[in-house]
Amino acid sequence: MKTKLTVILLAGLLAGASTALAGRPSGTWQTLNKPAEFEKLKTGDKILYVCNECQTVTEATVQDPAAAMEHCKEGATVTCPSCKTKVRVVTKGPPKNPKLVREVTYVNEKGERCFFIVKPAEKS
């Protein structure tokens, strides 16, 4: 079941996905921005789509790990479940150095970061 939350609760996140997360309490969620993090997703895992365009957070359940990997492939598109805006997957980092991991970002038609995906912490 998809649940929409208003961004008022996560206003600090929308300024910038990776920089805004520095001040959050540890263990609440993990920003997925590396291919290895997407590889760890299993069927049934919950993820949150955070869209700066429509200012919503939408919960989704991973149906297929292979489909989840599409969220981190260079040039692929991801569609916001709320506003249906399509964002493009862009990876940044040195492509020729296998020791350095490339970072996954999501940009709009202007090339601006506008979307990110997080995995909520496991409830204990």
**Residue partners of 113: CB distance under 8 A and separation at least 6:** 16, 17, 52, 105, 106, 107
Q: What backbone torsions phi and psi does residue 96 show, to the nearest 5 degrees?
A: -95, -5
Is the pLDDT assigned to residue 6 strictly greater than 90? no
Q: Name the pairing type of β-strands 29-31 and 46-51.
A: unpaired
Lowest-confidence pick of 13-17, 60-64, 68-72: 13-17
Is the pLDDT assigned to residue 27 strictly greater than 60? no
3-class secondary structure, 51: strand
pLDDT of 93: 76
Look up residue 45 and give its two tokens.
């895992």
Is the pLDDT assigned to residue 16 strictly greater than 70? no
Across residues 19-45, what is the average pLDDT?
Answer: 74
pLDDT digit string (tens) for 56-66? 999 999 999 99
Q: Can you give the pTM of this predicted structure?
A: 0.72
